[in-house]
Structure 1
């Protein structure tokens, strides 16, 4: 059965899409090492200048006018119909050389940017099987194209939405969960929570509140620390600043003046330990980080979600009763106090998170991909919008 799987992603809006592709690659290498895998980011192949421009525009829009980004995202019902076919044709011209060189049997996209281009190639002459691994708890119209053979989605509600809105056949949509690193799966990680807390130097008797801003340390983490430190409750604060060295140094300077113990970390590669040790995660609701939290049975307090995709993620997580959303920064502290004073509610949220978590999503994705490696490629009709 040996074949070749091309995993396609982008890094223009954080590293979640990349981490999902890496998780699928990891699972494939584990269960089918004879299958060749290659991971590529395609926007630099299309235009390195475009990639730099899009990344800069995205970050600046989030900083200066986040509501504008939200408006653009929520307009996707119109923009996807108007622009996705033209975008697909343009990008396909740039990626035909990649397909010719790699000759993949299966292509799996964890970002929507080039998915349409591969779908366009499929509808014309390409013979690979094409899959889309959606990395949020909802989706926009740029994810759905004629020529896509299968979709990997996070939840049953999303599957039903794709069926209703786009008229995609149910058999093409698999509810796997968002692919995450197998380090978060019980069979592959340290399961002794007390031992992990001891190794991290966290008092077993006090709640551990974990504050993160993704790999870039994005968000008002310093303000959150100040608001939580004003609470009279006893707890340990943990802040992961990622690659944000400026924030790390600021918090390091503040640390001696805080009344609560602060564990400060820069970039870490053992997030599974921190999520296992924590009692509560205070974070933005990115699809990957939220999925890692659910796999760890870790409840969330959501702060400042990015308008658009993270707002939709927030609605799903709150609906699943695994998260509370703070409408203001001051409310972050109010919600923390609320949960600390109601341990029964916090435990219910922990149990709900564990039920909602899909720690083996990447293995399920790998199994589906391997099934398609053994199948002939079928003609795929264009879904309606």
Structure 2
């Protein structure tokens, strides 16, 4: 690899916490490989702050109010071609701001960690060719990820590679890398130190409940009460950034030692390492974290859209279980904690899907790809007329 110092632009969006976590993981990996000039941009927030704030609010509310509406929008556009009138409008969202950033920063390459196709639109409208890479952060395909002008796609599984190839993307442009995670998930953990750090009883079976980064998992209080009825079981509740939920849970369970309550936990891999199973929203990043730690997954009432698709994919592979009713979930937890054969079967299925060192895989492949692209490439001038 040459000594060329590339300048990297990573585009993400702040709908949930996963896309920024993937971006940070890539940023860390680039720095480990001597690429220090990495700029991360929340493009939609930069381009249209008011619209972005409103749509983020509606996105989070969709988990509690009319999730079917979000599902209708998601599935209604899932296979929408890029050349339709609506498709062109959606895919050019943030165009002006991205053009401004490109003019100012002059990056050598751009990485998408959110389904946005504004980079190909920039190329079509201005003629400026900048290598563009897309890291898919789910386990099922939505067409918003795909454009033939993207140089390379990084996907979670062989199944997803097949889906992308069926859309017409050449197989050599699709790398089964897994979803990038921060470096701490690749490091060994001393579990005895984790037990002590968080005050966890090492003699009990542990159920980890992840409410999502914004604490949107439904029926949390009743769920915790039912789990603690299982003998020799303790519960770890992670409320994310939802301070109201954190306060409610602490008030409700202040006298119950077998329930530990946390807000946002940055070192979540530590809690995963000492848990026997995890109840969570089926976001792509959380799933990938569970796969790496081989922590059996239980999905409760996954909402329509990418999360339900993710959940259905994992269960079809035998790597997770889904429940839509509280009593069904409680029974699944009981089985997961008492049936070693079931746990082993799920872990074996997870091992077939897990990808280690995904951030390194993506970064090294991009750097190798950049080596054979013209080192003397120059950007065409970007004028206001575009």
Instruction: Say yes or no: does 1:263 pair with 2:280.
Output: no
State the match for 1:143 in structure 2. Answer: 145
Distance 1:58 1:177, change over 3 A: same
**Structure 1 residue 127: Cα displacement:** 2.5
State the match for 2:205 in structure 1. Answer: 207
Superposed counterparts of 1:200-279, under 5 Å = 200-220=198-218, 221-229=220-228, 231-256=229-254, 258=256, 261-279=258-276
What SS does structure 2 have at the residue aligned with 1:209? strand
State the match for 1:353 in structure 2. Answer: 350
Distance 1:86 1:146, change over 3 A: farther
Instruction: Say yes or no: does 1:312 pair with 2:309.
Output: yes
Do 1:45 and 1:95's aligned partners in 2 also have CA atoms closer than 8 Å? no
**Structure 1 residue 156: Cα displacement:** 0.5
User: Residues of 2 paired with 1:105 and 1:179: CA distance?
Assistant: 21
Superposed counterparts of 1:316-355, under 5 Å = 316-355=313-352
Structure 1 gap segments, 5+ residues each: 379-385
Question: Which has more helix, going by share of residues?
Answer: 1
User: Residues of 2 paired with 1:151 and 1:338: CA distance?
Assistant: 38
What SS does structure 2 have at the residue aligned with 1:59? helix
Distance 1:253 1:87, change over 3 A: closer
Q: Which deviates more, 297-306 or 214-223? A: 214-223
Do 2:71 and 2:304's aligned partners in 1 also have CA atoms closer than 8 Å? yes
Q: Give the RMSD, CA atoms, in angstroms.
A: 1.9
What SS does structure 2 have at the residue aligned with 1:75? helix
TM-score, normalised on structure 1? 0.90
Do 2:79 and 2:142's aligned partners in 1 also have CA atoms closer than 8 Å? no
What SS does structure 2 have at the residue aligned with 1:301? strand
Distance 1:97 1:232, change over 3 A: closer
**Structure 1 residue 350: Cα displacement:** 2.7
Could you list the per-position Cα deviations for residues 174-201 of structure 1 after superposition, in whole angstroms to 9, with x for gaps in the alignment? 000011111111xx242x3344334332
TM-score, normalised on structure 2? 0.90
Superposed counterparts of 1:78-97, under 5 Å = 79-81=80-82, 82=84, 83-89=86-92, 91-97=94-100
Structure 2 gap segments, 5+ residues each: 378-386
Aligned residues: 368
Could you list the per-position Cα deviations for residues 334-357 of structure 1 after superposition, in whole angstroms to 9, with x for gaps in the alignment? 101122231221133234324422
